[in-house]
Structure 1
Amino acid sequence: MTDLTRSRRLMLNAAPVVVGIGLWWTITTFVLVQPRLFPPPQDVLAELLRILSNDGPLGPTYAHAGATLLRLLTAWSIAFVIGTLLGVLAGRRRLVFDFMANPVWIAMSVPSVVWVFILLVLFGIENIVPVSALVLLLTAPVFLGTAEGVRAISKDLLEMCDSYHVRGWQRLTGFYLPSIASYMVANARVSFAYGIRIVLIAEVIGLPNGVGILVAYWSDTLFMAPIVAWGILLTAVGMAVDLLVFGPLQRRIRQESELSR
């Protein structure tokens, strides 16, 4: 990629953001002149700086952010492993897929807030609530994506594995997972972004710490600038993970796939 092409791509990526901020400032300055409910960009920037300085109404902001990210990473890792293993099995066995199909669609269709309330009744206000809700909801899309990837594997490759008697763990790690690597990265990207939204819902409803409890606090006081600031920060975290982790993985898999042809 030439420097000119790279610069052009950066400009195209930045243009919507610049236009959006300009419209935001114009509307909140001249139309919706209620800074507490409709904060202009400069107010949100001030809150961003306050958050980054570790200053919050309910204790250090880094502690709350760390608690949220720990819950997210723990649940996402568990869901990814479970969803991938079940997806591989379901992709090879139609009976398993048919057995799992309805529970998976129920898990995906029921609103996350309903699952959170059910888990709150079962476990009370504990860390297991957001983690369990995340595992339940994130396993489903990973399962479906993995099963679809396994089904797309060439029958010739499957017959080759059978002829060489490749079985069990060796078949999973040496054949299935490399064959569906692109599907796995896509599953990881979608489920991680989805998880950022779900974990906040669980924390808002009833946990003593986390970004969600800060959002609930500011919502109760009808002060929107910190809420928007936290939204921007979480979006930035998701984009950073996608650009620095999932994006390079996807490109590497694509390059290896092209070289192997």
Structure 2
Amino acid sequence: MTELTRSRRLMLNAAPVAVGIGLWWAITTFVLVQPRLFPPPQNVLGELARILSNDGPLGSTYAHAGATLSRLLVAWAISFVVGTLLGVLAGRKRLVLDFMANPVWIAMSVPSVVWVFILLVLFGIDNIVPVSALVLLLSAPVFLGTAEGVRAISKDLLEMCDSYHVRGWQRLTDFYLPAIASYMVANARVSFAYGIRIVLIAEVIGLPNGVGILVAYWSDTLFMAPIIAWGILLTAVGMAVDLLIFGPLQRRIRQESELSR
């Protein structure tokens, strides 16, 4: 029964993708017959093979992908730590939450392109631009999610900590972080996916390497197949991270939570 349910779930997940690819092929083959601007699936598949063979117009595609992913991982890690620590503080201290509310919403509301241009003026064309933009934009949702998780902790548990005189770093690591573990995983999932989109914008505008530069190159030549191919690859990276890391973490936290009840 379990295998049948799993197979059915896989079929339901695959069905929209198959239908979408079929419609894509039909439209680009019979309606929008301009392969350069509206590439059919087989053209994009060819570009995927070309990318994976490390063949690119601006050097090694692996080098560009590595540069993008390294910026993303560094900035994501920094923003996750900063956003979590500030979020815990804001969740416990209403004064901190009120003080941070407007800066956080400004950071989230201002378009990422604007932040990138501001940082370009400040730092010039340098790796610090995409990393700083990512840290600024990704810290905000992590902060809000963490603060919400801390505020949802039972007052009885807080009083228990006070009665046992649990303070400082021990209170953070042994109480707050385990209590908001599910919120942290949700923050990690959202911020990582958000970061994949932002890093390309920063690279298009302000860096000489990375996937963003390749996207800008193909956009200037009005050749859409490699742009879509890179989009598929980055989506695959995000899905792989979610399925292999964040998904299992979320399930483990849920199981431990159910066992502790």
**C-alpha distance in 2 between matches for 1:28 and 1:97:** 51
Structure 1 residue 206 displacement after superposition: 2.0
Give the percent of matched residue pairs that are identical in Structure 1 and Structure 2. 92
Larger displacement relative to structure 2 (1-10 or 119-128): 1-10
Structure 1 residues 168-193: Cα deviation after superposition (integer angstroms, max 9, x where no partner): 00000000000000000000000000
**C-alpha distance in 2 between matches for 1:2 and 1:194:** 34
Structure 1 residues 103-153: Cα deviation after superposition (integer angstroms, max 9, x where no partner): 000000000000000000000000000000000000000000000000000
Equivalence for 1:119: 119
Structure 1 residues 53-78: Cα deviation after superposition (integer angstroms, max 9, x where no partner): 00000000000000000000000000
Equivalence for 2:195: 195
Matched, 1:157 2:149: no
Structure 1 residue 2 displacement after superposition: 1.0
TM-score normalised by structure 2 residue count:
1.00
**C-alpha distance in 2 between matches for 1:92 and 1:144:** 13
Structure 1 residue 258 displacement after superposition: 0.1
Equivalence for 2:14: 14
**C-alpha distance in 2 between matches for 1:127 and 1:26:** 42
Q: Would the aligned equivalents of 2:116 and 2:206 in 1 still touch at CA under 8 Å?
A: no
**C-alpha distance in 2 between matches for 1:225 and 1:259:** 49
Instruction: Please list every run of 5 or more consecutive structure 2 residues that lacks an aligned counterpart in the other structure.
Output: none
**C-alpha distance in 2 between matches for 1:67 and 1:222:** 24
**C-alpha distance in 1 between matches for 2:8 and 2:54:** 36
- Where 2:242 maps in the other structure, the secondary structure is helix
Structure 1 residue 215 displacement after superposition: 0.1
Matched, 1:235 2:235: yes
Q: CA RMSD in A?
A: 0.5
**C-alpha distance in 2 between matches for 1:60 and 1:24:** 30
Please identify runs of 4+ aligned residues in structure 1 that moved more than 4 A. Answer: none
Instruction: Please list every run of 5 or more consecutive structure 1 residues that lacks an aligned counterpart in the other structure.
Output: none
